[in-house]
């Protein structure tokens, strides 16, 4: 076990991140990158960008609290050190997405009010379910919730958003690409370490599977609120009227043209991609996937 964890050491982190994909970045993007003028000048687009970014900040704050909270209940020093690198990654994500809110015109003194106003209630409940396990020092459930469910969701959401922003907003796309690279490391740790712990504690399976079912429901409900909202439709309508929305290669993700598709179709593709990945990954670590109720 310890050998594979060497790839997750602080030394590895220092070698791979500061000298790798974070080199020459400022707040996760190139020093000369800016939010597109069209986005900053259009109130509908700007507000929707703030709304979306608030969900990212809320999710990353949860990940920061969970990864740091899990260190004290980790069963070995190597896992503690890996979680320390994850804590730092999550803090960086909180910082870069918070900075994006500032770049979108949110004032530092308004930050908490803006987050409170826009954070989706289901996303908050999703986070609370995970942090309950962390506070109870339940390492096995906490790592499944954090590194399989939360990170699995974040990975696909970021991947989809990076695809749609690659041409439309290269600054935001680069920030997302850096976070995706981090999430890839985190997801790997969850699978490797947790499989052996689930085998050691079969009595915990039911509780963890219930948590997965509940967290999955709140994730789907968050997506439903976002993709079915009038604000999302207004944003897409506004985007089609500005700049280079219809120029360049169509951003395709999981076989869906993200520019042309109806928001409901994108929601379905996102939910399906994540739930299929949950099922596969939970199976690999010895847990049975439970289908969540639909919002």
Partner 1 sequence: MSEGQDIHALPPPEFERRVRSFEHWFDAVEGYLGGLHNGHAPIEEEPLDDAERARLVRVLASYCVGESAALEGASGLVRLAPNTPFRIFLATQVADEARHLEVLLARISELGFAHPEAEVERCAAPGIVRFKQRLLELIDAGEWESALFAQNVMLESMEYVTFGAHARTADPVTRDVLERVLRDERRHLGFGENEIGRLLASRPAAADRLRVVKRELDALVLDTFEDAAREIGLSASEGPELGRAYLQAVARLGIE
| Residue in the structure block whose two tokens are 């079969």 | 202
Check residue 246 for interaction with partner 1 (CB under 8 A): no
Compare residues 109 and 249 and give the one whose CB is closer to partner 1.
Answer: 109
Check residue 133 for interaction with partner 1 (CB under 8 A): no
Compare residues 21 and 289 and give the one whose CB is closer to partner 1.
Answer: 21
Compare residues 55 and 226 and give the one whose CB is closer to partner 1.
Answer: 55
Check residue 29 for interaction with partner 1 (CB under 8 A): no
Compare residues 50 and 160 and give the one whose CB is closer to partner 1.
Answer: 50
Name which position in 45, 50, 62, 83 contacts partner 1 (CB under 8 A).
83
Its sign, for the CA torsion 230, 235, 240, 246, is negative
- The 95-124 site mask, x for binding partner 1 (CB under 8 A), equals x--x---------x----------------
Smallest gap from Cβ 65 to partner 1, in A, equals 6
- Region binding partner 1 by CB under 8 A among candidate stretches 7-15, 118-126, 171-179, 249-257: 7-15
Smallest gap from Cβ 135 to partner 1, in A, equals 8
Pairing type for strands 256-257 and 252-253 reads antiparallel
Smallest gap from Cβ 116 to partner 1, in A, equals 13
Name which position in 1, 7, 14, 116 contacts partner 1 (CB under 8 A).
14
- The 51-70 site mask, x for binding partner 1 (CB under 8 A), equals ----------x--xx--xx-
Check residue 27 for interaction with partner 1 (CB under 8 A): yes
Check residue 85 for interaction with partner 1 (CB under 8 A): yes
DSSP assignment string, the chain? -HHHHGGGSHHHHHHHIIIIITTT-BTTB-TT----HHHHH-HHHHHHHHHHHHHHHHHHHHHHHHHHHHHTT-SSHHHHHHHHHHHHHHHHHHHHHHHHHHHTT--GGGHHHHHHHHS-HHHHHHHHHHHHHHHTT-HHHHHIIIIIIIHHHHHHHHHHHHHHHHHH-HHHHHHHHHHHHHHHHHHHHHHHHHHHHHHH-GGGHHHHHHHHHHHHHHHHHHHHHHHTSHHHHHHHHHHHTSTTTTSSS--EETTEETTTS-HHHHHHHHHHHHHHHHHHHHHHTT----PPPP-
Residues that bind partner 1 (CB under 8 A): 9-11, 13-14, 18-19, 22, 26-27, 61, 64-65, 68-69, 71-72, 77, 80-81, 83-85, 87-88, 90-92, 94-95, 98, 108
């Amino acid at each position: 076990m310890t050998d594979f964890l060497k790839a997750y050491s602080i030394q590895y982190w220092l070698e791979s991140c500061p000298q790798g994909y974070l080199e020459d970045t400022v707040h996760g993007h190139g020093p000369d990158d800016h939010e597109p003028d069209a986005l900053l000048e259009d109130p509908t687009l700007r507000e929707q960008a703030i709304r979306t970014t608030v969900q990212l900040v809320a999710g990353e704050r949860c990940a920061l609290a969970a990864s740091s909270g899990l260190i004290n209940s980790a069963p070995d020093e190597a896992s503690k050190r890996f979680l320390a690198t994850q804590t730092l990654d999550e803090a960086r994500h909180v910082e870069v997405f918070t900075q994006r809110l500032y770049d979108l015109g949110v004032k530092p003194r308004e930050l908490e009010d803006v987050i409170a106003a826009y954070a989706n209630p289901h996303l908050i409940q999703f986070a609370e379910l995970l942090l309950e396990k962390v506070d109870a020092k339940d390492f096995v459930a906490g790592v499944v919730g954090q590194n399989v469910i939360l990170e699995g969701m974040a990975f696909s959401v970021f991947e989809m958003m990076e695809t749609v922003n690659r041409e439309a907003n290269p600054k935001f796309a680069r920030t997302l690409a850096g976070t995706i690279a981090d999430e890839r490391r985190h997801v790997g740790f969850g699978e490797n370490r947790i499989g052996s712990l689930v085998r050691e504690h079969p009595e915990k399976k039911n509780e963890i599977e219930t948590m997965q079912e509940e967290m999955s429901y709140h994730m789907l409900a968050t997506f439903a609120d976002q993709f079915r909202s009038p604000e999302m439709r207004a944003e897409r309508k506004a985007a089609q009227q500005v700049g280079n929305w219809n120029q360049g290669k169509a951003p395709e993700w999981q076989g869906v043209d993200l520019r042309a598709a109806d928001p409901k179709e994108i929601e379905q593709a996102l939910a399906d991609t994540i739930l299929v990945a949950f099922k596969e990954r939970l199976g690999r670590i010895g847990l049975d996937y439970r289908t969540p109720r639909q919002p």
